[in-house]
Amino acid sequence: MSLRHALLGLLAQGPASGYDLTRAFDGGIGQYAWQAGHSRIYPELGKMAEAGLVVVDETGPRGRKSYALTDEGRTELRRWMLHWPERTAVRDETVLRMFLVQSLEPDDARRLLEGIAEHCAAELAKLRPVMDEVDAEHDPREPVPFGRLAGEYGLRQYEAVHGWALWSLERMGATVPG
Amino acid sequence: MSLRHALLGLLAQGPASGYDLTRAFDGGIGQYAWQAGHSRIYPELGKMAEAGLVVVDETGPRGRKSYALTDEGRTELRRWMLHWPERTAVRDETVLRMFLVQSLEPDDARRLLEGIAEHCAAELAKLRPVMDEVDAEHDPREPVPFGRLAGEYGLRQYEAVHGWALWSLERMGATVPG
DNA sequence: AGCAACATGTAACGAGTTACATGATTTA
DNA sequence: TAAATCATGTAACTCGTTACATGTTGCT
């Protein structure tokens, strides 16, 4: 039931409508952590309201319903964040491809690894300046801006995969570009 | 339809039964990349056989059916491995928690990050000697042992998350002393 | 003889995606 | 006034989990 907790976590930043939350999944969370479309989000918000985890705190034009966390919701979010199950749910197509690299012919494997390395380098080139800008604009006496920790995670993730792809190419006996 | 491709990739190493494949998901693939139980694997193998991607190459005791890749299956695996969609499917509870760290009170966030750092350190302490042993036993003139690249990925992944948790603690500690 | 491991399947349910469906408000 | 965006919802389908269900083989 991670969608529920993703929504609780997003609402912890402040009230939002189903529409707002749907757009939040277009960003980093949807790319790296969890995906959901509006057709799943609206019914889930309904159930969460029934369960007392959220309330409609405001209605706006076009039938907009803004949801806010209740104390119960915040408690449930905290419970979920602090206590991890033994084995957490992971489903990642990219990692699956990494596991299966060695099922390809060496030439194909090399091409794939080169593609991964290039992709990571490109993403790093996009993400690094964004994070640098966030840091430059941030007063160090204020709390860390929301999303900065997640952004750093993304950065380190791409660096790790990039390094892994180059290491793998070298290990396979390819001429490593760069 | 990644389960299908996970199965194709596993069968690329050699023929296996549904039972064998089910156990394969208990290992690294199930922990880091994709999960599936036997109740999903058996019907999928049936459909893949219908589609001509695999064939039953051998039957054994207890109704055991060993499946082998066909040329079509190998072609489909290769196609999937080399053609990445723009956005790949990811669903990772741990990363979701990382994204939501900042929805916690600073004290809770710190406790969570410390837990993550400890967990990564423990996993590294387990995984590193295993990989070192694989390397020590491996003749460098032979192809890289199957799973070694995936293992290296796991290693670098844990290192990255470990570093991220420590960085985050430092970054948070600067703003809220305690 | 009894137990563990091997081995396969189905059914009910939960979770997510895609497609279908509708309408209001703002902006050019 | 037309288009883009805001805004919500349902239905059919796919994929995965948990529970139900059954039977065989090898080992001690």
CATH number at residue B68: 1.10.10.10
pLDDT digits (tens, 9 = 90+) for A94-129: 999 999 999 999 999 999 999 999 999 999 999 999
A156 Cβ within 7 A of any nucleic strand D atom? no
Mean pLDDT calculated for residue range A150-168? 95
pLDDT of residue A59: 95
A76, pLDDT greater than 60: yes
Average the pLDDT over B118-138 and give the result. 93
CB atoms within 10 A of CB A176: 15
Local confidence band at A84 (pLDDT 50, 70, 90 cut-offs):
confident
Q: Which long-range contacts (CB under 8 A, 24 or more apart) does A43-48 make?
A: A44/A3, A44/A4, A44/A7, A45/A7, A45/A18, A45/A21, A48/A4, A48/A7, A48/A8, A48/A73
Cβ-Cβ contacts under 8 Å for B122 (sequence gap 6 or more): none
Distance in angstroms: CA A89, C1' D24: 33
Domain end position, chosen among A48, A82, A116:
A82
Domain that holds residue A9: 3-82
Do residues A124 and A56 both lie within one domain?
Answer: no
On average, the pLDDT of chain A sits at 93
Predicted TM-score (pTM) of the model is: 0.91
- Expressed in angstroms, the distance from the first to the final Cα of chain B is 48
HSE, side-chain direction, 13 A CA sphere, residue B59: 2
Q: Are A76 and A120 within one domain?
A: no
Closest CA to A37 of A54, A56, A24, A55: A24
Spanning CA of A39 to C1' of D10, the rounded length in angstroms is 9
From the Cβ of B40, is strand D under 7 Å away? yes
Q: Which residues from 17-36 of B have any strand C atom under 7 Å from their CB?
A: 17-20, 22
Q: Name the percent of chain A lying above pLDDT 70.
A: 97
Reading the block at residue B17, the tokens are 């039964």
Task: Classify residue A56 as left (phi > 0), alpha (psi -120 to 50) or beta.
Answer: beta
Q: Which residues contact A41 (CB under 8 A, 6 or more apart)?
A: A3, A7, A18, A21, A22, A25
Say how far apart CA B121 and CA B90 lie, in whole Å.
24
**A88 in any annotated domain:** no
Place of tokens 């039972």: B19
Looking at the fold, whether A99 and A166 belong to one and the same domain comes out as: yes
Work out the pLDDT band at B177, boundaries 50, 70, 90: very low
**Nearest nucleotide to B41, CA against C1' atoms:** D16
Please give the single-letter amino acid code of residue A57: D
Residue A174 confidence class, pLDDT cut points 50, 70, 90: low
Tell me the pLDDT tens digit for each residue of B2-43. Answer: 999 999 999 999 999 999 999 999 988 998 899 999 999 999
Query: Into how many domains does chain B fold?
Result: 2
Work out the average pLDDT over A135-160: 91
Q: Is residue A67 part of a domain?
A: yes
Q: Are residues B121 and B157 part of one domain?
A: yes
CB contact under 8 A, A144 and B172: yes
Query: Across residues A29-40, what is the average pLDDT?
Result: 94
Share of chain A above pLDDT 90, in %: 82
Residue A87, in any domain of the structure = no
List the single protein residue with the shortest CA to C1' distance from D19: B39
Q: What pLDDT does B141 receive?
A: 85
The residues pairing with B59 across neighbouring beta strands, listed in sequence order, are B65
B 75-104 residues with CB below 8 A of A?
A: 77-78, 81-82, 84, 87-104
Classify residue A30 by its DSSP letter.
Answer: I
**pLDDT confidence band for A176 (50 / 70 / 90):** low
> Which residues of A, range 12-41, sit inside 8 Å of B by Cβ?
12-13, 28-29, 31-35
B157 and B131 assigned to the same domain: yes
Residue A57 has pLDDT above 80, yes or no: yes
Residues of chain B found within 8 Å of residue A77, distances taken between Cβ atoms: 100, 103
Inter-chain CB proximity A96 and B28 less than 8 Å: no
pLDDT digits (tens, 9 = 90+) for B45-81: 999 999 999 999 999 999 999 999 999 999 999 999 9
Query: Which chain B residues have a beta carbon less than 8 Å from that of A73?
Result: none
Q: Is residue B117 part of a domain?
A: yes
Whole-number pLDDT of residue B143:
87
Residue whose CA lies closest to nucleotide D23 C1': B62
* Residue A177 located in a structural domain: no
Is residue A176 domain-resident? no
Q: What is the pLDDT of residues B129-161, one digit of tens each?
A: 999 999 999 998 888 888 899 999 999 999 999
Q: How would residue B178 be classed by pLDDT, with cut points 50, 70 and 90?
A: very low
Instruction: Name, in order, each residue with C-beta under 8 angstroms of B164's C-beta and a sequence gap of 6 or more.
Output: A149, A152, A153, A156, B98
Extended strands (E) in A114-165? none
Same domain as B145, residue B100: yes
Alpha-carbon span A173 to B15, nearest angstrom? 28
Please tell me the predicted confidence (pLDDT) of residue A175: 55
Residue A153 lies in a domain: yes
Which of B51, B82, B113 is where one domain is finished? B82
- Name which of A85, A49, A71, A20 is nearest B97 in CA terms: A85
Please report whether residue B73 resides in a domain. yes
Strands A54-59 and A65-69: antiparallel
Do residue B109 and residue B68 come from a single domain?
Answer: no
pLDDT tens digit string along A9-22? 999 999 999 999 99
| Claim to verify: residue B45 and residue B106 sit in the same structural domain | no
Mean pLDDT, rounded, for A22-51: 95
Q: Which of residues 107-146 of A touch B (CB under 8 A)?
A: 108, 111-112, 115, 140-144, 146
CA nearest to nucleotide D11 C1': residue: A39
- Contacts A8 to B, Cβ<8 Å: 103
Integer distance in angstroms from CA A47 to C1' C14? 14
Q: B3 — phi, psi (to 5°)? A: -55, -45
Q: Tell whether A75 and A107 lie within a shared domain.
A: no
Q: Which residues of A touch B146 (CB under 8 A)?
A: 102
